[in-house]
Copies of this chain bind each other. A is one copy, B any other.
Amino acid sequence: MDTHPAKRVEIIIEAVMERHLTQALSEAGVTGFTVLPVMGGSGRSGEWSREGQVGRASGMVAVICLIRPERLDTLLDAAFAVVERHIGVVCITDAQVLRAERF
């Protein structure tokens, strides 16, 4: 099977910032992403869990973008502008994808 090199960027960010992030990504020309729910976690600002919560203040989502390697920097710049002042982590891994024409 034909595979093509790509970057897998995973951004774990506060739920309230999801719309801000995906908008910034779109504006930076990122054409695809997938949002996964997050149940809980722990970091420097303590532990949290979504259980029983109504408000969106304490909660995060994981946004996954697969992109061509040459577009990585544009994406990171856009993501960083949103994440900068906020709670969140950004993680990049090397990957291979099928159907590269989609990215």
Contact = CB atoms under 8 A, between A and B. Distances in A.
Interface of A: 1, 3, 6, 8, 10, 12, 22, 26, 31-44, 49, 60-62, 64, 66, 73, 76-77, 79-80, 83, 89-99, 102
A35 B44 CA distance: 15
Contact of A32 (B8, B32, B42, B102): B42
Given A12-B34, A34-B12, A91-B95, A42 B26 contact: yes
A35 to B, nearest CB: 5
Contacts of A44: 31-32, 102
26 contacts: A1-B73, A1-B77, A3-B92, A6-B91, A8-B10, A12-B34, A12-B64, A22-B42, A31-B44, A32-B42, A32-B43, A32-B44, A34-B60, A35-B41, A36-B39, A37-B37, A43-B102, A79-B98, A80-B98, A89-B99, A90-B99, A92-B95, A92-B96, A93-B93, A93-B95, A94-B94
